[in-house]
Amino acid sequence: METLWLQAPHRRWNPLRREWVLVSPHRTQRPWQGQMETPAVPAPVTYDPTCYLCPGNMRANGEHTPQYESTYVFQNDFAALKQDAPQAQFDLGDGLLRAETERGICRVLCFDPRHDLTLATMEVEKIRNVVDMWTAQAEELGARPEIQYVQIFENRGAMMGASNPHPHGQVWATEHIPNEPLTELAAQKEYFAKSQKPLLATYLSTELEEDERVVASNETWAVVVPFWAVWPFETLLLPRRSVASFEDLSPEERDGLADILHTLAAGYNRVFDTPFPYSMGFHPAPSDGEPHPEWTLHAHFYPPLLRSATVRKFMVGFELLGSPQRDITPESAAATLRAVMQTS
């Protein structure tokens, strides 16, 4: 890119959300006297007798977590959705006051029995077990006629709302397609109707050719800092072969996914020499019974850290009232991430 774009305020188009992102590179020089976070500290023990996700311990509902040896899935004891919620609708004011029942299933997926591990420190073979469990959950829940979307995600670190440091993620299966994938669905359908090509597959091809924002890759997957990234070290994980869902992945692609997840998570930890917090989630195609040739399975990683282990990005002010905004350019963030990924 021209130097002008790397130094001057400008905006970038996000085709996946069909919205603009403001980039303000000069703001990295501003002094900081705001909130300072406490650096994350790795879990110190392999087993914590007070952790309800460690094998054999009692959970809040009185049930005991079994002595599991690999991945383990159970129904969330405090689920945001319920399967048996009574059907109801509410509509007043010419559609301005609307509400309706949303049913679904929420599960917790423990990555490993060890309390002190994360995707950054787990063996790749064990991460492959997690990939297989994600696939099994997506296949099982997505096959249910009442489910239209299966959202797999992980909140890593207390800064991103994780209530327990034990390595785990969640699976929420919903009766309707949630807002974020619904927005992406509209954009990908529009692009496919015009070009007869999947949007994200075309985008990845462009990024691989330009090679400016690619931070890690293997034979089956690639990680890029998206051209339209909002979070400082945001990344987008994409398969080299455009597949719509977990169930479409070959054994080799599952191997590659486990490998690149480890590379990415471990690389993040080296940016500021601290366990890197993030929210990450996969967006597969909707499980609504319709074909989705426009869709490419992908994962978003949204880490909040900006300048150090103690200074984070806040989504406030203009971001809430105007449009998304970032300080460091995606190219600068990609250069930093590429350097730490290459030291693995």
Task: Out of 115, 166, 168, 300, pick the active-site residue.
Answer: 168
Both tokens assigned to 147? 């489910």
Both tokens assigned to 177? 């397609």
Cα separation, 338 vs 267, whole angstroms: 8
What's the one-letter identity of residue 62? G
Verify whether residue 300 is a known catalytic residue.
Answer: no
Cα separation, 293 vs 55, whole angstroms: 41
| HEC string for the chain | CCHHHHHCCEEEEECCCCEEEEECHHHHHCCCCCCCCCCCCCCCCCCCCCCCCCCCCECCCCCECCCCCCCEEEECCCCCCCCCCCCCEEEECCCCEEEECCCEEEEEEECCCCCCCCCCCCCHHHHHHHHHHHHHHHHHHHCCCCCCEEEEEEEECHHHCCCCCCCEEEEEEECCCCHHHHHHHHHHHHHHHHHCCCHHHHHHHHHHHHCCCEEEECCCEEEECCCCCCCCCCEEEEECCCCCCHHHCCHHHHHHHHHHHHHHHHHHHHHCCCCCCEEEEEECCCCCCCCCCCCCCEEEEECCECCCCCCECCCCCHHHHCCCEECCCHHHHHHHHHHHHCCC
> Which residues participate in catalysis according to the annotation?
168
